[in-house]
Every structure is written in structure tokens, then in C-alpha cells.
A and B are shown apart, each in its own frame.
Chain A
Amino acid sequence: MVGVQKIVLNKKGQELAIFGMVAFLLIILTLLFYWFFFVTPLAVKSKLPSYGPIQQSITAQDRLDLDLILLNYLRTPIVVENTYITISDLARLYSINKLKYETPMKEETKKIMDAVFKSYNYKLKIGDTLLAEKGQFDEPSLSAKQFIPFQEGATISVSLETGEQDKSYTTEYTVAG
């Protein structure tokens, strides 16, 4: 044994070098053990590889934007018959008397929505009646719906759908100077 030791470890500092290599391997093994027994088993998995990991929160964020647009539209104050009312009030008046309030309802809706959706197509409906639209699309990419209180036991539904971005739309930029 002493002879083998003398042959194998015949250089100065070899013992320490082997000891160091062992220590290094021990570190690697410990980290691998930790990785395979603690990190990967407890990681969040993707159920649907084609969906993408953060698609759901991005979609939720877009939905939030569209719902907020719809709510702000319904809260917008307008002047009808020299009185300030909201779009939701006008929607109720329109539901009671379509003939009298159709024009202000459609005009105000188009004005507001065209300003919001400069580069997107959209459709806005009260119940099943189309109030305003821009562009054509078969399947909406996003939709939002809100119910507003109405008369005895009834609510009115207002829905907003957006289509794909209008690719022909170009944004103009003004450069100072």
C-alpha cells in the first residue's frame, strides 16, 4: 500500500489536488441533488405547451382594458335636451323611445368609440341592436359586456367587441422643430 501510494502520489501537492477535486465534485452532486429533488418537482408546470406560460395573464390584462373602456363609455356625460346625462341614461331613454333617441345615441357612441379605437375595428351593441361599428370582422379577438339597471325586473346589456388591428392604419408622428 505504501508502495502504491508512493507511485500514485509521487508529486508534491497531489493529495491536496485530489482532495480539492473530490470537494468540487461534492458541490456539483449536492447542487444536482437539490435541483432534481427540490427545484424541478416543485416548479410550476405548463399544462398546455402551445398556450404559452403567461398568455392567460396577458389576456386578462387586455380584458381589463376593454371592460374599463366600456365602463368609462357608459359613464361619459353628454348633453341631451339641455341637460347633462350619462350614456347609460341615454341607453335607458333609447330603450324606451328608440325613435326619439336613436340619433343622439348613435352619434355620441360613434364619436367616443372612434376616438378610442383609432387602429382597431370594433362593434358596440345594445341588446342585439348594433349601435356603432368600424371595419369588418367575423370573430372578435376580445369582447366585454356590461348590464345596466333598467325598469321593473329588467337590465339592458351593452356589449363591445374588438377585432384585429387594422394593418393599413398608420400612426402619424409630429417631430418638433
Chain B
Amino acid sequence: MKKGQFLPMIAIFTILIVGILGYTFYKNKIKERDELVGERAGFIINTLIENEKDYFFVEDSARLAFCDSMEDLSNKGVGCLKGNYPLWSFNPDNCNPDNNMVNSFNKYFDENFRRYISYNTRLKNLKYTFKLSDDGFFLVSDPILIETIDDKSIISVKYDFKVDLNKKIASNIKDYTDTVILAKKYLTCINNGKTVDACNVETKLLGSKSDNLIKFDVSSIKNPCTLRQMEIKFVLESVGLS
């Protein structure tokens, strides 16, 4: 290159590059933004704060609903009542705790959880699924959309909630399912012609006779949320009662 040609070439390239930059601005419709630096970041952080608070509310509601559902199982059993006592029948019907214990718990949980989250306007229409299994209790919600709106733009954040109650409380209904097994044994004992006292000794379930029913108030368990004692109570009907 000849001496002195460098600067003019720089000038031409500068004009070219600045022209391309200007065209890019124009093509991408980059507009003036009348906002503070950090304002958008502030909106996003505020949205995150709301998310964390909602998540806590969902988690706490799930925990409460779980405890309430255990109380409902104690008081209402699988939905069949004889007087003030839940009826457990081992016939193939709706009063059979074998088939219906988990279903009944799920029904009670759904009602209780829905009630608690309805106190929060942002969560009252939350869609969710939950599962009670041997591994514990899990709740997963559908994503919800939170929008932070300022004058000119909308910042949308989608998030969902996953609640694993296992680390929070003993999230199983083992005490109930174990009692169902003992109750079945008790009924077999009675139907074999043995007395209530003999079956009490055999199964270590303490029943008391009342007409053609046997009432049970199994040693209580503590509600982990309210610290109240819950008795697992139920009645068995037996044809062979003597």
C-alpha cells in the first residue's frame, strides 16, 4: 500500500461499518427505552420473590392438608359411618378399607388442599397432581404464569411447584394400613367362632362389643401439625359375633 493511502481507507471503512450499524438499528426497530438502568432486573427479582412466597404457601398448605386428611381418615374412615364410628367392611363394597383407604385419603387431601390454597388469590385456580406411595408424598403443579407489567412491557415468568413432603413429616399412612391388616385378622378370628376377648389377645387389637358391632379405638397417633392425638377408630360388623 502506498504511503498516505491508509487514512483514507480507514475513513471509507468507518463510514461503511457505521452505516451497517445504523441499518441494524433501523431493521431491528431498536427503540428508546424510558426506564432506569436495573429497573427490569428489579422487576424480575420482585417476580422471583413472589414465586418463592407462593411456593412456601403451597408447601405449607400441602403439609396442613396432609395432616387434616389423616384426621379425616381417623374420623370418617373410608366414608362409611355407623353412628360416630367409621365402618370397615371387608366385603367387595365401598366400605372396604383394603381397596379404599388410599382413595379416601386422596379425596380428603384434594378437598383440604384446595380449601387452603383458595385463601391465596394467585393460587386458587392452581392445577396439580399428587401421589401417595410407599416412597412418600409428592405434589406437582402445572406451570403458572406470573406477569409483571410496567407501562411499556410485560415480563412473564412461568414456574411450577414441586412439593416433596417426605422430608417434612412422616408422609405415609402406614399406621392405618397396618391397622387394616390387623382388623382383617380380627374379623377372621371372630368369624371362626372365637370370643371378642380371645381375639383381642390374638391380634392385640382391643375391641369392645356393642350390639352386633365391635368397636375399636386403636392407640392414638400424634398429628404432626397440630400435636393433637388422633385415634384410629372403626367398627366391624360380624355375623358370627357371640
Contacts and interface: CB of A to CB of B under 8 A. Distances in A.
Interface of A: 13, 16-17, 19-20, 23-24, 26-27, 30-31, 33-34, 37-38, 41-48, 51, 53-61, 63-64, 67-68, 71, 74-75, 80-81, 83-86, 88-89, 92-93, 146-149, 153-155
B46 interface: yes
Contacts of A34: 18, 21-22
B83 interface: no
Interface residues of B, number: 47
A63 B47 CA distance: 11
Interface string B44-84: 01101100110011001101100000000000000000000
Interface stretch (B1-9, B92-100, B129-137): B1-9
Given A44-B35, A155-B119, 19 more contacts: A13-B4, A19-B8, A23-B11, A27-B14, A27-B15, A42-B25, A47-B34, A47-B36, A53-B36, A54-B37, A57-B41, A59-B42, A63-B46, A71-B53, A85-B227, A89-B225, A92-B226, A149-B119, A153-B119
Nearest to B9: A23
Q: Per DSSP, are chain B's interface residues mostly helix, strand or loop, or mixed?
A: helix
B7 A46 contact: no
Contacts, number: 144
A53 B38 contact: yes
Contact of B45 (A51, A55, A63, A71): A63
Interface in B13-35: 14-15, 18, 21-22, 25, 30-35
A153 B61 CA distance: 13
